[in-house]
């Protein structure tokens, strides 16, 4: 009887989200394989379609064919919708449909929504989702309007508006897909607009807004932007975001002045430095080619890619709060303090264990995938493969140009990393493990030497 009940039990939130993303990836793959999706009218091979679909739904931006020149308007529209769905999340789309149809959202659906947007409480999650959808529409609409002031004069009214909407959605969802291949060369991203403050600052603003997290949006509205009433998570996220913009901008400005930005005017160099500081945290655009960065700039980019965005946002990566908790744990240990504290509050032990697990899993995935790709294609440099792997698992989309050189097996490895990165490494690991019943008594204590 117990076995029958166990078989009939509904799937957990992680399983539903994983299957939901997988179903959307397969649907987009099928659409991209249609002849109408390519610019030439020929069917696209399954591996290319699967890789592109995974990259779009997982809001990564790695591509094996140029988005602007390979795909038709229909194919580009499919990618635009896939990016929007992937950025908001599967359950967010369900919530939108339920709200439009005036359907009641039950307890199970609210639980799935909470897991999808990384909310702390199940109460108010529908309100949070409603605000997230409205905010997304407003921010993307405003971004598209600003970008159209630059794109419409260049590409004409119809194409210019479509490009503005596409890039606004891609930036807000931290996807990194671009349609500039026919204008400034294949795989050129936004390099032609490196000195354009309207394009660069709009993209930066959209990336940061999308990467803040829906929970932070909701808390800011509730407390009316008063710092004293903000939750601890909101204050931590805002401080981390500010630090991860200001400090890397200064470092890029210093180290790239004699390398990739040599000879640039100060204003253009400062704008490119700010863009280079923001986009590696899962956005994927670039105004300075990744392969042209100095060794110091490449290392800084790798570190930013590993950190990623904030929990419950359109961004991927290990997340800023994960890195913050690891740093606080190290600081507390060095100062011989019993508790880990932040802004006068003690951090619960479960959050610290979760942060440690996420860091270990991301490191293990990155090392394992790098080894696998290097073993299958020894002609590729270690640095280029490492950038590609870290970019994939953290859903960034930046590359040193080796994506198109990957063999079929390597492409499948990268596609799997993008999928895991969008779900979250810990969520994916929980799908593969079974929870064991806790023993009735605590086990005897053992001692290990550390350090």
pLDDT greater at residue 430 or residue 259: 259
| Helix 125-155, helix 73-88: angle, nearest 10 | 150
Rounded percentage of the chain residues whose pLDDT exceeds 90: 51
Q: Which two tokens stand for residue 320?
A: 């800023």
Instruction: Give 37-45 contacts, CB < 8 A, sequence gap 24+.
Output: 37/71, 37/72, 37/74, 37/75, 37/78, 38/70, 38/71, 38/72, 38/75, 39/69, 39/70, 39/71, 39/72, 39/75, 41/72, 44/70
pTM for this one?
Answer: 0.88
Handedness of CA 159, 160, 163, 169 (dihedral sign): negative
Q: For residues 368-387, give the mean pLDDT.
A: 95
Kindly tell me if the per-residue pLDDT of 73 is higher than 90.
Answer: yes
Q: Tell me if 334 sits within 8 A of 328, measured CB to CB.
A: no
List pLDDT tens digits, range 310-358. 887 777 777 888 889 999 999 998 888 888 888 888 988 888 888 888 8
List pLDDT tens digits, range 83-130. 998 888 766 666 666 655 566 666 566 666 666 556 656 666 777 778
List pLDDT tens digits, range 39-68. 999 999 999 999 999 999 999 999 999 999
Angle (nearest 5°) at CA 434 between 428 and 439: 135
**d(C-alpha 296, C-alpha 47), whole Å:** 35
pLDDT greater at residue 178 or residue 129: 178
Q: Using 50, 70 and 90 to split pLDDT, how confident is the model at 133? A: confident
Length of the chain: 451
Name the residue ranges covered by the structural domains of the chain.
Answer: 12-430
List pLDDT tens digits, range 241-252. 999 999 999 999
Kindly tell me if the per-residue pLDDT of 2 is higher than 60.
Answer: no
Q: For residues 173-181, give the mean pLDDT.
A: 92
Kindly tell me if the per-residue pLDDT of 438 is higher than 70.
Answer: no
């Amino acid at each position: 009887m117990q076995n029958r009940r166990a078989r009939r039990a509904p799937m957990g939130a992680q399983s539903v989200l994983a299957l939901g993303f997988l179903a959307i990836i397969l649907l987009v793959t099928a659409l991209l394989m249609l002849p109408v999706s390519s610019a030439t009218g020929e069917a696209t091979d399954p591996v290319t379609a699967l890789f592109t679909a995974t990259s779009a739904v997982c809001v990564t931006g790695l591509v094996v064919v140029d988005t602007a020149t390979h795909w038709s308007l229909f194919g580009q529209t499919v990618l635009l919708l896939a990016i929007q769905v992937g950025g908001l999340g599967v359950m967010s789309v369900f919530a939108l449909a339920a709200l439009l149809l005036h359907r009641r959202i039950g307890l199970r659906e609210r639980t799935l929504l909470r897991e999808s947007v990384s909310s702390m409480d199940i109460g108010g999650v529908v309100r949070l989702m409603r605000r997230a959808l409205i905010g997304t529409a407003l921010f993307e609409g405003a971004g598209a309007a600003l970008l159209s002031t630059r794109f419409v004069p260049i590409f004409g009214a119809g194409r210019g508006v479509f490009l503005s909407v596409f890039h606004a959605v891609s930036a807000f969802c931290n996807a990194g897909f671009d349609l500039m291949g026919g204008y400034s060369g294949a795989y050129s991203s936004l390099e032609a607009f490196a000195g354009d403050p309207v394009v660069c600052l709009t993209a930066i603003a959209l990336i940061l807004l999308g990467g803040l997290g829906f929970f932070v949006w909701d808390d800011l509205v509730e407390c009316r932007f008063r710092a004293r009433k903000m939750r601890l998570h909101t204050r931590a996220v805002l401080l981390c975001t500010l630090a991860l913009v200001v400090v890397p901008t200064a470092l890029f400005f210093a180290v790239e002045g004699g390398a990739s930005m040599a000879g640039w005017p100060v204003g253009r160099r400062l704008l490119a430095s700010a863009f280079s500081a923001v986009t590696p945290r899962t956005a994927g655009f670039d105004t300075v080619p990744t392969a042209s960065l100095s060794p110091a700039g490449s290392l800084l980019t790798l570190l930013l890619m590993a950190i990623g965005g904030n929990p419950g946002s359109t961004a991927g990566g290990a997340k800023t709060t994960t890195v913050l908790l690891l740093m606080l744990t190290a600081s507390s240990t060095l100062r011989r303090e019993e508790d880990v504290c932040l802004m006068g509050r003690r951090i619960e032990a479960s959050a610290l264990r979760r942060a440690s697990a996420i860091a270990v899993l991301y490191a293990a995935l990155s090392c394992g995938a790098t080894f696998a790709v290097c073993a299958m294609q020894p002609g590729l440099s270690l640095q280029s493969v490492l950038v590609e792997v870290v970019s994939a698992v953290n859903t960034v989309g930046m590359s040193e140009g080796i994506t198109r050189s990957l063999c079929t097996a390597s492409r499948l490895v990268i596609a799997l990393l993008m999928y895991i990165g969008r779900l979250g490494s810990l969520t994916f690991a929980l799908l593969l493990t079974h929870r064991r019943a806790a023993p009735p008594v605590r086990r005897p204590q053992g001692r290990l030497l550390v350090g």
